Amino acid sequence: ITRAIRGNFFDFSQIVGVPSELESQARYIEDGMMFLNSGKIVWLGSREEGERRLAQNLSAVPLDDYRDKLIIPGFVDTHIHYPQTEMIGAYGEQLLEWLSNYTFPTEAQYHDIDYARRMSAFFIEQLLNNGTTTALVFGTVHPQSVDALFTAAAALNMRLIAGKVMMDKNAPESVLETPAQSERDTRTLIERWHNHKRLSYALTPRFVPTSSPQLLEKVRAIKADYPDIYLQTHLSENADEISWVKSLYPEHQRYLDVYHHYNLTGSRCIFAHCLHLHEEEWDCLSDTDSSIAFCPTSNLFLGSGLFNLQTSWQKRVRLGIGTDVGAGTTFNMLQTLSEAYKVGQLQKYRLSAFEAFYHATLGGARALHLDDKIGNFDVGKEADMVVLDPSATALQQLRSGNSKTLAERLFVLMTLGDDRNIYRTLVDGKVVYQRAK
């Protein structure tokens, strides 16, 4: 044992198939203790039993005491753009205008490796300050953007998945490439980074409107060469985007048919948004074991639409939560879950706190096929966690005093919560963020 942690632990013991199973899989250990051996969880139980075991241990083990805090698995952000950090909260547009007016000019700056390094450091710090320990991340078209990000993540031994954007049309020259160049650069990055430490590579065709058939053909070819590679892209976010896809690829019936035609569906393929899917697209996602990233703050900010959580359960599609910064308006998962709840409310869907925290931890891990490594506190899992302070403000303190159940306390935490509630973040068993005071 290299470290002992005392506190109140909350996680989910198993993957669930329907929301009604969430409550029985929720695991709460009040006044518990956890043992780590470097970056792994080796034991979790009651404080009494933990203290007995510690007493038998001959070598002194450092003990972190978080007795009034709530310790949960690190948040999993299944969709985020690191080169949009500096343009978060850009005013007044919906998706396509937002991309041309703000996004592409911002991303063009990442040809400069020094700039990319500075922004990578800032971005990773933002994730950790918000309790997010794993993310699936878009870079820019420039391979150096991804080199910079992976280098920063590797230094902390973070579990991170990322890829360089692939795009060859319908954007300014400064963020475009040819299909051949895209394939070369992508293959080089895969050889350098995929399965290096805790890093994985994700093929990242931006979305259909910026992809020629030749480019999608290249993506298909690379994917075929790496059976455990990820793929991330956008799907069915905005009404104008969907019509544009239809006009660009008239031979395909639906948006998802384009990706599916090029074999870009399946396990480890993660589609952001999925707001306006037809029944056969839902079935295709389900039948191919693809995953969805639900990005509530982005969907509301760009006025894109309301994600249907009910259908995602019915169709049994793997689902995680994404912040989608910079269309999303926060790095913070508590705030993101609070917006997810409101998206549910507008459709008469009641998102419980248990469901919300499940999607943000074990569910997100499952969406990324990482639930054998992260997402809960099972023995053998990697020691990525967040120590939450549920009463970080006077209002939260007052409100917590009126909460009767764990479910209610968690719900208020997500409704009122933000980065002030993040007390410590641990990655690979080490404290990588601590709140001042």
Q: How many CA atoms lie within 13 A of 117 on its CB side?
A: 5
Within 10 Å of residue 188's Cβ, how many Cβ atoms?
A: 13
Instruction: Tell which one of 164, 234, 359, 369 touches ligand GUN (CB under 6 A).
Output: 234
Closest residue to Fe ion, based on beta-carbon distance: 324
Interface stretch with Fe ion, choices 303-311, 321-329, 369-377, 427-435 (CB under 5 A):
321-329
From the CB of 297, what's the least distance to Fe ion, in Å?
Answer: 11
Give the shortest CB-145-to-ligand GUN separation in angstroms.
13
**Residue 276 makes contact with ligand GUN by CB under 6 A:** no
Phi, psi of 150 (to 5 degrees): -65, -40
177 binds Fe ion (CB under 5 A): no
Question: Is residue 298 at the binding interface for ligand GUN, with CB under 6 A as the rule?
Answer: yes
Which range in 95-103, 118-126, 256-264, 349-357 contacts ligand GUN by CB under 6 A?
Answer: 95-103
The C-alpha atoms of residue 116 and residue 121 are separated, in whole angstroms, by 9
183 lines the binding site for ligand GUN (CB under 6 A): no
- Contact between 361 and 77 under an 8 Å Cβ cutoff? The reply is no
Taking CB under 6 A as the criterion, the residue among 81, 198, 315, 359 binding ligand GUN is 81
What amino acid occupies position 316? R
Query: Which lies closer to ligand GUN via its Cβ, residue 328 or residue 390?
Result: 328
Check residue 77 for interaction with ligand GUN (CB under 6 A).
Answer: no
Kindly identify the residues of this chain, within the stretch 309-348, that bind ligand GUN according to CB under 6 A.
324, 327
| Shortest Å, Cβ 117 to ligand GUN | 21
- Rounded to whole angstroms, the Cα distance separating 254 from 277 reads 9
Dist CA 305 CA 341 (whole Å): 14
User: Which of 257, 324, 384, 389 lies at the binding interface for Fe ion (CB under 5 A)?
Assistant: 324
What is the Cβ-side half-sphere exposure of residue 90, based on CA atoms within 13 angstroms? 22
Is the CB of residue 54 less than 8 Å from the CB of residue 112? no
Would you state the structure tokens that stand for residue 297, as one six-digit string? 């703050």
Stretch that binds Fe ion, among 52-60, 125-133, 176-184, 317-325 (CB under 5 A): 317-325
Tokens standing for residue 102: 């703000």
Residues whose CB falls within 8 Å of the CB of residue 386, separated by 6 or more in sequence, listed in order: 71, 72, 73, 74, 75, 131, 133, 422, 424, 425, 426
* Contacts of residue 225, Cβ cutoff 8 Å, sequence gap at least 6: none
**Per-residue binding letters, 4-23, with ligand GUN (x by CB under 6 A):** --------------------
- If you write DSSP's letter for every residue of 197-231 in order, what string do you get? TTEEEEEEE--GGG--HHHHHHHHHHHHH-TT-EE
Cβ at position 273, least distance to ligand GUN in Å: 7
Closest alpha carbon to 137 in 230, 39, 241, 273? 230
Q: Are 378 and 43 in contact (CB under 8 A)?
A: no
Interface map 184-223 toward ligand GUN (x if CB under 6 A)? ----------------------xx----------------
CB-nearer residue toward ligand GUN: 207 or 349 = 207
Is residue 281 a contact residue for Fe ion (CB under 5 A)?
no
Task: Give the strands of the sheet with 40-46, arranged side by side.
Answer: 40-46, 26-37, 3-12, 63-73, 385-388, 422-427, 430-434
Residue 384: name its binding partner from ligand GUN, Fe ion, none (Cβ under 5 to 8 Å by kind). Answer: none
Minimum CB separation of residue 149 from Fe ion in Å reads 16
Provide the 8-state DSSP code for 74. P
Which listed residue (7, 9, 29, 103) binds ligand GUN by CB under 6 A? Answer: 103
CB of 326 to ligand GUN, least distance (A): 8
Binding flags for ligand GUN, 119-158, as an x/- string (CB under 6 A): ----------------------------------------
Q: Which residues bind ligand GUN (CB under 6 A)?
A: 81, 95, 99, 103, 206-207, 234, 237, 298, 324, 327
Q: Which residues bind Fe ion (CB under 5 A)?
A: 272, 324
